Amino acid sequence: MLYVVPSPIGNLGDMSFRAIEVLKNADLILAEDTRTSSVLLKHYGVQKPLTPYHQHNEHKIVAHLAAQMLAGKNMALLTDAGTPGISDPAFLLVRECVKQDIRVECLPGATAFVPALVNSGLPINRFCFEGFLPLKKGRQTLFRKLAEEERTIVFYESPMRLVKTLGDCIQYFGEDRPCCVSRELTKIFEENKRGSLREVHDYFKTKAVKGEIVVVVSGKG
């Protein structure tokens, strides 16, 4: 079977006891980046075979991995941080397992957009998650569509593109739309900056930004 195992988004203490047990009992651990996962596994004393599984090789090895599971191997899938499949590789392998009637079990655990959404102070009863926004093709079309979205909007962004994307939000949503930018969640320098799009844009325009970023924007109206 395949276990989909969430990993901490910053604080190693967020790893669950069950996740550690699953990793220790797996025949093979699939890792988005073996160097990153090796640090986590060493911290928890997990000594199991490790092989790369990422967006550059997943199309080539999915069938081979499924064949190994059908032959009796249990595998655990790890990404660098958070829940595999949420803006990270996992979908192709899970789909193949479902297609071949291989049992898939996704453990509950860390993912960045949930704490960012909850602590934003914006309505969370209904929301849409967009992952990483397209860089070029389809970007304007998506922004026009999101401008009419009434649910709270959640997406990921890189430090390098944050200010530009907030500027795009101002252009399509208006500068007064409430928002919250969360970065370095669960880490020592965690920051949640709330305010209007204009206020938050101007704040980050004047400072160097590092770390993983989640942007939460209020829906229309």
HEC profile of 10-33: CCHHHCCHHHHHHHHHCCEEEECC
71 plus 132 within the same structural domain:
no
Domain final residue pick, 88, 106, 124: 106
DSSP summary character for residue 221? -
47 plus 120 within the same structural domain:
no
Domain final residue pick, 57, 79, 106: 106
- pLDDT grade for 221, boundaries at 50, 70 and 90: confident
What percent of the chain is modeled with pLDDT above 70? 100
- pLDDT grade for 53, boundaries at 50, 70 and 90: very high
97 plus 124 within the same structural domain:
no
| Per-residue model confidence (pLDDT) at position 184 | 95
Q: Which residue range(s) make up the domain with 188?
A: 113-217
Please tell me the pTM assigned to this model.
0.93
| Per-residue model confidence (pLDDT) at position 205 | 95
Helix axes 162-173, 197-205, angle to 10 degrees: 160
CA distance linking residue 163 with residue 84, whole number of Å = 27
Averaged pLDDT, 26-39: 97
What CATH number does the domain containing 148 carry?
A: 3.30.950.10
- The model's pLDDT over 70-106, given as tens digits with 9 standing for 90+, comes to 999 999 999 999 999 999 999 999 999 999 999 999 9
Domain final residue pick, 106, 131, 161: 106
Averaged pLDDT, 198-214: 94
101 plus 177 within the same structural domain:
no
- pLDDT grade for 161, boundaries at 50, 70 and 90: very high
